[in-house]
Structures are given as C-alpha cells and as structure tokens.
Amino acid sequence: MSAIITISNLEKTYATGHQALKDINLDIAHGEIFALLGPNGAGKTTLISIVCGLVTPSGGMVRVNGYDIVTQYRAARSQIGLVPQELTTDAFETVWNTVSFSRGLYGKPANPAHIEKVLRDLSLWDKKDNRLRTLSGGMKRRVMIAKALSHEPTILFLDEPTAGVDVSLRKGMWEMVRSLRAAGVTIILTTHYIEEAEEMADRIGIIHHGSLVLVEEKATLMRKLGKKQLTLRPQTPLTRVPTALASWPLVLTDKGDLVYSYDTRQEHTGIPDLLATLSNEGIALKDLETSQSSLEDIFVDLVREQA
C-alpha cells in the first residue's frame, strides 16, 4: 500500500486536560475511501483537525504526501480539501465568490472553468449568484464541499458530509465522492450513518474514547464479524426454552420466538439438528427467518465491548 497520509503515535490532550486522542497509528492509502466511525466525542473531528493543521498535536507525527503537517504546514495543507463538520459561511457572499475566493486562499490562479464544474457537479450552478444566507442547510453544506474542492486537492476530508442532507441529495453526494475517487482523489470521511460507510468505504476505522480500536477492509470486516441469526417462530409462542434445547445457545424473545445465532464461517451450523430436535419435541413452526448482522451490529458490539 502506498500511503498518502502517515499518522504515527499521534496524541492530543486539550487544554482542559481531556485526552482526545491516544497513540493513533494509521496509514491512508493513495486513492482509497476511508470511513472513520465512532460515537459522539470519540475524537474523529480532532483527528481530522490535526491532519488539516487546525489543531496542534500534543505528540506524534503526521505526514501528508511526505510533508510534515507542523514543520511543512503550507505544503501539507495545499494537498488537502476539508469540509468541516460545523458550517462556517459568510452569509452575505455569493456562492460563486465564496468558492472562487477559497481557491485564491491557496495561492492558486483563478480557474472559472474548474469552479463551474465543481458547482455543476454539486447541483449548485443555478444558485451561483445567490447569497449564502438565502440557501437551505443542505445547500450550504454543498457550498462547503465546493469550497473544499476549489483548489483541486488530492485529499479530501469530509467530516459528517451528509448530516442534514436529504436522501436523494445524499445519494448524489455519494456519486460525486465516487467520481472524485475515480479521478484519483483520496477521501477520508466521518459519518454517523453506518449505511454510508457500508456503501462507500474501502476501509473502515472505528475510533472510541480517543483510540483507534479497529481498522479493516470493509469486505473483510463484514465477513469476519459476520454472524447470522435464525429466528424460529413456533405455532404456539413459547414461554420458556424447552429443556431438550437447553444446551443450545438460544434466546427466547418477548414474542415467544427462539433466536439462534451462528457464525457464517462455521462448517456445521447445527441448524439441521436444531430443527430435528424441535420436531421431536413436538414444536411445530409457523415461520422461520434468517438475518445477517450488519455493520451497525458490529459497530454497536465493538463499542459496547470497549466501554
């Protein structure tokens, strides 16, 4: 893997004494989409803010395309586009000026054709002469994305990019992120929408209480932690787990169903035996269904374990 960002032994303790990041080690590969998941206050924004040079680290090192973010700040920062979690916009400026001006801040020569493309891609072209205060929240967020793309960065950070964005626009944004990746941009996003990570990411990192507790290829993660559940719904709801089934890891639900959890990687799931035993016990089934655990279950489990 050729890393475009290298984070080593990164630590952050805020002036309040709160330790927001603990010994973070992470390499971001060239051209990947990396999703950072974690509950509120886990340290996601702190991590992004350090890489973008907005927050000073208390220890450790970050390199962006080879540039040290502290000693070579300008060179490192010029590689990066950031869409911050908090919307900060100049209410009285127009969309066009906001986005063009942002490009200028990076010392890049004006390029109206690029700005036009960015605004069109984000469905903002017809709003280009509107003042920001006249836009909706979702539109303002898209303006933030346009700003972040104005200077043609090679790395894009999206901190909760689709918070407050409606479903159809969210899908549009995913499309845009994919096309950016196809154009060679590396993308790091944080999200509270697990489906977004599931849909978008090549790799997923889970951060909890300031520690990176897991980094994994999405596909591997889904497979490795993939559990399935079989719900057995008897004709007559059960009030207890039958004695003959006591040795099985079954859970009785409020509705009187039995739930059997098994690992999809196991060679023998035990399901035929289970069904045979039920039948021997004279328990007739009305229905049965299986469900696959999602990234959401995996995430909730992990965070619970680490709490």
Ligand X SMILES: Nc1ncnc2c1ncn2[C@@H]1O[C@H](COP(=O)(O)OP(=O)(O)OP(=O)(O)O)[C@@H](O)[C@H]1O
Choose, by CB under 5 A, the member of 45, 49, 65, 191 that binds Mg ion: 45
CB count in 10 Å sphere of residue 9: 12
Q: State the Cα–Cα distance between residues 33 and 188, nearest whole angstrom.
A: 6
Q: Which is nearer to ligand X, 21 or 274 (CB)?
A: 21
d(CA 43, CA 62): 16
Using the rule CB under 6 A, is 162 a contact of ligand X?
no
**Nearer Cβ to ligand X (21/221):** 21
- For residue 138, give Cα distances in angstroms to 94, 204, 258: 16, 25, 44
CB-based contact 14:60 (threshold 8 Å): no
Q: Establish how many alpha carbons lie within 13 A of residue 282's alpha carbon, considering only the half-sphere containing its beta carbon.
A: 0
Length of the chain: 307
Least spacing, CB of residue 40 vs ligand X, in Å: 4
Q: Does 307 bind ligand X (CB under 6 A)?
A: no
Contact between 43 and ligand X by CB under 6 A: the answer reads yes
d(CA 133, CA 156): 25
Between CA 88 and CA 10, with CA 205 as vertex, the angle to 5 degrees is 75
Stretch that binds ligand X, among 37-45, 68-76, 144-152, 262-270 (CB under 6 A): 37-45
Positions 3 through 32 that interact with ligand X (CB under 6 A)? 14, 16, 18, 20
Binding mask 44-83 for ligand X (x = CB under 6 A): xxx-------------------------------------
Token pair 């590969």: residue: 29
**Least spacing, CB of residue 138 vs Mg ion, in Å:** 18
Q: Which residues bind Mg ion (CB under 5 A)?
A: 44-45, 85
Q: Which residues bind ligand X (CB under 6 A)?
A: 14, 16, 18, 20, 38, 40-46, 85
